[in-house]
Amino acid sequence: MNDLTGLVAVVTGGNGGIGLGMATGIAKAGGDIAIWARDAAKNADAVKRLTDVGVKAIALQVDVTDEAQVGEAMERTVAELGPLGCMIANAGTSDRTPVADLSLETWRRVHAVNLDGAFLVCREAARRFIAQGTGGSMVVVSSMISRYGGVGQGAYASSKTAMLGLSRTLAVELARHRVRVNALVPGWTRTGLSEGGYQDERFRDATTRRTPARRWADPAEFERVGAYLADPSLTFHTGDEMVVDGGYCVF
């Protein structure tokens, strides 16, 4: 297991699903956690789960599409926990409307959370890392859908694909500051965002048959992935897309 004692990690959307899985893995490795998410009740549950591991954890109600809130959250985080060590841009939303029926309002809403939100939190983290001069890591959580088309996935897939370009650019720009930036590309995983698809028997069966591992992932399977990607000692691993999808992309 990676030793992350003394690391401070921010996980946006970290009060559930893959985000909480990654946060838990970092906590188990000794890192302190700041959850930035909007749901106060889920935030409180996540903090309890993380502090039970034996680390410091806080949760801030943050809308990642709000530039001012993102800046304020960073100030509070470093004031309460210490210098930033890792930023995980995980907050996201989705929509299942075919492009022919997709409104501009919905298109913009999905991109605002997924892409604009990732930009705002990564920009804030980049500024903080540069000022600190201590290096660090970033993780941009994309999706396996960035590689494939899908009915009703126009807004979601395009935003997740654009996030890959953002992560690559950050990797190049921040390497000189000893900040490594990687994208996580998860496959079908049981989360609040995807539970509707999982409960649809036809959809679940089709995606399971298409996955060589013959199942969907559990968010807990991203614990060690999170700890690995946050590890400050892995200084030469940057600009990568880590695919964790049960073999879906190669089948």
CATH of the domain at 90: 3.40.50.720
- State mean pLDDT over 85-96: 96
In a domain, 148, yes or no: yes
- Residue 1 placed within a domain: no
pLDDT value of residue 84: 98
Distance CA 72, CA 65 (A): 13
- The pLDDT assigned to 1 comes to 61
Report if residue 2 sits inside a domain.
no
Residue 129 belongs to some domain of the structure: yes
Task: Report the distance separating Cα 224 and Cα 242, nearest Å.
Answer: 13
Position 182 in a domain:
yes
In a domain, 3, yes or no: no
Looking at the predicted structure, is the pLDDT value of residue 100 above 90?
Answer: yes
Enter the pTM of the model. 0.96
Number of domains making up the chain = 1
Q: Are 33 and 57 in contact (CB under 8 A)?
A: yes
User: Considering the domain boundaries, does residue 80 fall inside one?
Assistant: yes
DSSP 32-50: EEEEEES-HHHHHHHHHHH
- Model confidence over 39-81: pLDDT tens digits? 999 999 999 999 999 999 999 999 999 999 999 999 999 999 9
- Domain with 235 in it: 8-250
- Kindly report, residue by residue over 120-176, the tens digit of the pLDDT: 999 999 999 999 999 999 999 999 999 988 889 999 999 999 999 999 999 999 999
